[in-house]
Amino acid sequence: MAYSTILYEVDDRVAQITFNRPSKMNALSLRLAAEFEDALAVADRDPDVRVVVVTGADGRAFSSGHDLDDDDEKGQPRRRSLEDWKKRHNEDIAFDYSVFHCSKPVIAMINGYCLAGALDFALMCDLRYCSDDSRFGVTQTRFAAGSLTMVMPWVIGQRCRELIYTGDMFDAQEAYRLGLVNRVFPKERLEEEVTRIAKRISRVALPTLVWNKKALNNTLLAAGFDSAQRYAAEACLIMNSSESEFKHFRELQEAEGVAAAIKWRDSIFAPFESETSALSSPTTSNPRANAS
């Protein structure tokens, strides 16, 4: 299959899938999700692949989150019905769960921004390594939206509450301190170091990797992981379809565009921001325009 939004390559037992929408900060579109799931299934079936690495093109962002201006959804009504939201949520959940259900270890190699839905996705991966300039955030909170896959409490425990309640962004060292990423590497060495780790993992016998992942996943399932995620999805559905600021954001987005909606939303939080909590971004592109 020819891909238009991702890159897929295999080298010495390691498959790499790259989100390839750099002009959109690798925002997650419906097409990207479908292509990713196809490529991941290819890697899962390939007997010569033992590890999968997921990353973002161009080095500025792993991904800024779900694309709020998805070209594949043009022409769809902005004011979705409950059934419309359910359909879209189910598609997003399938994307997040694809790495959990993959029989082989999946590594998120995070290079730059990793926000909102992209952070949910990365947390579903088996391992996370990031560059020292990476920035993280549960920024969908500030859209009055929720996390479809509420994985963060399973990774870092109840320390996630402040991050989820505020929508603040945090840097690579804070992500490491919290246990959200396994290691932080200098940006120029990230790919080299993650490749080295992936190659070490790939030298383990494939049945051992597969059954260790099954056993590790089962510890989550036995503790109620799936039921917790189903509740989170229902809560997210209620948030996204509720009469709240999110509705006004969508109306403003439809009338004046994403930039105007973002400016309005940021004005609500600006008086209370600190230097560390502010949603700073590159001057040439605003990752928040897609962060949901």
Query: Given its phi and psi angles, is residue 282 left (phi above 0), alpha (psi -120 to 50 degrees) or beta?
Result: beta
Residue 82 pLDDT: 66
Task: Mean pLDDT check: name the lowest of 37-46, 169-178, 225-234, 278-287.
Answer: 278-287
Given a contact cutoff of 8 angstroms between Cβ atoms, the answer to whether 114 and 287 are in contact is: no
> In sequence order, which residues have a C-beta less than 8 Å from that of residue 3 and are 6 or more positions away?
20, 35, 38, 39
One-letter amino acid at 52 equals V
At residue 237, the pLDDT reads 83
CB-CB neighbours of 71 under 10 Å: 10
Q: Quick: pLDDT tens for 152-202.
A: 999 999 999 999 999 999 999 999 999 999 999 999 999 999 999 999 999
- pLDDT value at residue 288: 40
Residue 120: its H or E element: helix 117-124
* 129 CB-near residues (< 8 Å, 6+ apart): 107, 108, 109, 110, 181, 182, 183, 184, 185, 190, 193, 194, 197
At 21, the amino acid letter reads R
Average pLDDT of the chain? Answer: 88
Q: What is the mean pLDDT of residues 104-123?
A: 97
Could you write out the DSSP letters of every residue in 226-277?
A: HHHHHHHHHHHHHHHTSSSHHHHHHHHHHHH-HHHHHHHHHHHHGGG--TTT
CA–CA distance, 292 with 118 (Å, rounded to integer): 8
- Kindly list the structural domains of the chain, giving each domain's residue range(s) and its CATH number in brackets, ordered by start: 6-290 (3.90.226.10)
pLDDT in tens, 61-95: 999 999 877 766 554 545 567 677 678 778 889 99
Q: What is the dihedral of CA 76, 82, 84, 77, to 10 degrees?
A: 0
Q: What is the pLDDT of residue 141?
A: 87
Average pLDDT over residues 122-150: 91
Least confident stretch, 9-23, 83-97, 111-125, 153-167: 83-97
pLDDT of 230 over the 70 cut = yes
Distance CA 249, CA 49 (A): 44
pLDDT at 241 over 90: no
Residues 97-128: b if buried by 16+ CB within 10 A, e if exposed: bbbbebebbbbbbbbbbbbbbbbbbbbbbbbb
In this prediction, residue 245 carries a pLDDT of 64
For position 258, what pLDDT does the model report? 76
pLDDT of residue 106: 98
Percentage of the chain lying above the pLDDT 90 cut: 66
Q: Which residues, listed in sequence order, are joined to residue 169 by a DSSP beta bridge?
A: 137
Cβ count within 10 A of residue 48 = 12
Confidence of residue 31 (pLDDT cuts 50, 70, 90): very high
